[in-house]
Amino acid sequence: MKSTLEPGLTHRFSFTVPETKTVPCLYPEAPEFQEMPQVFATGFMVGLMEWACVQLLAPHLDAGEGSLGVHIDVSHTAATPPGFTVAVEAECVAVDGRKVAFRVRAHDGVDPIGEGRHERMVVAWDKFNARVGAKAAAVSVAG
């Protein structure tokens, strides 16, 4: 991770909500979700907030590094129909070793729709993938 990553950095990202990012599409196998309105799903909003944070981090990572979400605490306060464009603002608020904290906010052009805090851990992909591979191998041997 480069020394350029510091609190105060911001990034804004916009995304137009397709029908495939609505509540019934979150888990198509869940009949309970199929009965819900066709509005932007909280799970997809969280993913959009993570995406904005990943983009903020990208220029500050070294080759072979990436990040993983390790904590999310956000509200989802307004419904957004498909076709609306959601803008997410991410701000780096703390860097503690490999852990990076962000304030995130989302707006659909009419209403603020969500806000909160997100944390990501910067990892070396080769080491991370080796640990996940070892975990998968341990389960397949035990099973």
The response to whether 69 counts as a known ligand-binding position is yes
The one-character DSSP state at 36 is: S
Please identify which of the residues 6, 20, 71, 76 carries the catalytic annotation: 76
Please identify which of the residues 50, 65, 115, 119 carries the catalytic annotation: 50
The one-character DSSP state at 82 is: T
Please identify which of the residues 6, 10, 22, 42 carries the catalytic annotation: 42
- Run of H or E including 45: helix 42-57
- CA gap 93, 105 in Å, rounded: 13
The response to whether 103 counts as a known ligand-binding position is no
Q: Is 76 a catalytic residue?
A: yes
CA neighbor of 99 nearest in space, from 130, 67, 129: 67
CA neighbor of 80 nearest in space, from 47, 52, 36, 45: 45
- Run of H or E including 25: helix 23-26
Q: Is 119 a catalytic residue?
A: no
Q: Which residues are annotated as a binding site?
A: 69, 120
Q: Which residues are annotated as a binding site for substrate?
A: 69, 120
Where in the sequence numbering do the catalytic residues fall? 42, 50, 76
